Structure formats: structure tokens, C-alpha cells
Amino acid sequence: MNTVPSDHSLPHPLLNASEPYRGLLDWRILVQWLGQDGIISPAEAERTIARCAQVHSAQPPLTRLASVSMTRLSDGKPLDVETITEWLAGRAGMRYLRIDPLKVDVGKVADTMSAVYAERHKVLPVQVNAKEVVIATSEPFVTDWIEEVERHSRRSVRLVLSSPAEIAKFTAEFFALARSVKAALKSGGNAGAGSFEQLVELGKSSKQATRRQRPRCGAGRRLALAICV
């Protein structure tokens, strides 16, 4: 099994292509894969390794690589976090998802897992039906938590890949919204209109951030909320 060494100052050894990778993402592994897939040139890979090896960073690997302005070999365009995440999704055999808050049932998100659990595993439920829960992750090769969620939710889990920043942002906002609506319902208030307005604002902010979002306004009824503790 391939694992990530703890010494971030050393180049990562060549991975055994015959063994599936398991564990947290590491920027050195991503650089290696980007080179193998022809996304970046060998020279770009060397420059990125030299730059990133100079200093330790607490940034998620996808975010860190997006910040160093790598350029795509095919057209010279910069590789932003969305482009890198979408590429990684294809490599991991997952669908890439740009999270749209107006398409997420916030109540069922809170029913599926607690905010603490979501933050710990860097995951966020984004769709729930009678048989399946779709969960966005930024760590596609860490899956030891899936069995626990399937047992708790009594549904199968399907993973999609989203950027670390989106998952962190919407985890905080969705669970905060769920708590506020739950409190309003307990006090006998009408939380529907205010919660829908908050969802609309989340959609607007997400659209402004990506300039490519197309929010829909069909989520007003999705407000029967409870939080798993």
C-alpha cells in the first residue's frame, strides 16, 4: 500500500503504479501524477517541486498547487484549483462537483452527519434520497469513514470530488443555517422565508466567486431540519 512520508522536505518516491493509492493527498504525488498525465511539463514539475519544498504549508495540497501558478502543457493556461480538482476527479474515477447551495437539501445534510464529523473528515453530504447519499470530499483516497456513514444513514454512499475551499465554506454555512432554522422551529417561528433567503445569498456568493454558477430557486420547501449529534 502506498503511504505518504511525513518529511515534506524530501521529494516523494515514485509510486508503484500497480498498487492503488490510499491515504491523504500530498502535493508531491499530485505533481507526479500531473506530469504522468501530460498536464504539466517535466520542467514545470521540477519548478513546482523546488518551490513547494522550500517551506511547509498547512494549505490543502490542491489549494497549494493552485497557488503556485503552474501552467498547462497543452495551452499554457494557469492551473487553478477548479481545473486541478476536476482533473483529479477523472483520475480517481469520480465525478467533479461544483457545489450549488440551492441544489442541496440542507436539512438532510444535517440529518446525515454532524458538523464536527463533516469537518473532521473534510466531507459534505450534498444529495440524499431513499437509497443513496452523495457526499463531496476533497480527499478521494481516504474512505475508511464510509462504512460508518452507510450504517448510520442506512443508505449507500457515492463520492464526488469538490475543492477543499468549497467544502470548508459550505460545511460551515450549511450547518449554521440548519442550527438557526432548527432553533426557529423549536421556538414556534416560521423559518422558511428567512432560510430560503440565506440559501439564495449563498448561491449568489458562490456564483460571484466562480462566475459560472447557475443557481435554481427550487429549494424553498427543503427546510425540515435536524442535526445529528
- Of the two residues 194 and 182, the one the predictor is more confident about is 182
Q: Does residue 165 share a domain with residue 77?
A: no
Q: Does residue 197 share a domain with residue 118?
A: yes
Asked, for residue 160, whether it belongs to a domain, the answer is: yes
Q: Report the CATH number at residue 168.
A: 3.30.300.160
Q: Does residue 186 share a domain with residue 106?
A: yes
**In angstroms, rounded to a whole number, what is the distance separating the alpha carbons of residues 1 and 23?**
9
Written as nine digits, the cell of 79 is 492551473
Q: Of the candidates 70, 93, 116, which is a domain's last residue?
A: 93
For residue 173, what pLDDT is reported?
Answer: 92
| pLDDT tens-digit readout, 153-166 | 999 999 999 999 99
Q: Does residue 127 share a domain with residue 71?
A: no
pLDDT band (50, 70, 90) for residue 128: very high
For residue 152, what pLDDT is reported?
Answer: 94
**Residue 154, Cβ density class (10 Å: 0-12 exposed, 13-18 middle, ≥19 buried):** exposed
For residue 26, what pLDDT is reported?
Answer: 96
For residue 9, what pLDDT is reported?
Answer: 40
Q: Does residue 73 share a domain with residue 110?
A: no
For residue 134, what pLDDT is reported?
Answer: 97
Asked, for residue 7, whether it belongs to a domain, the answer is: no
- Of the two residues 85 and 216, the one the predictor is more confident about is 85
The residue-averaged pLDDT of 166-182 equals: 90
Q: Which domain holds residue 67?
A: 27-93
Q: Name the percent of the chain lying above pLDDT 70.
A: 74
| pLDDT tens-digit readout, 1-33 | 444 443 444 444 445 555 789 999 999 999 999
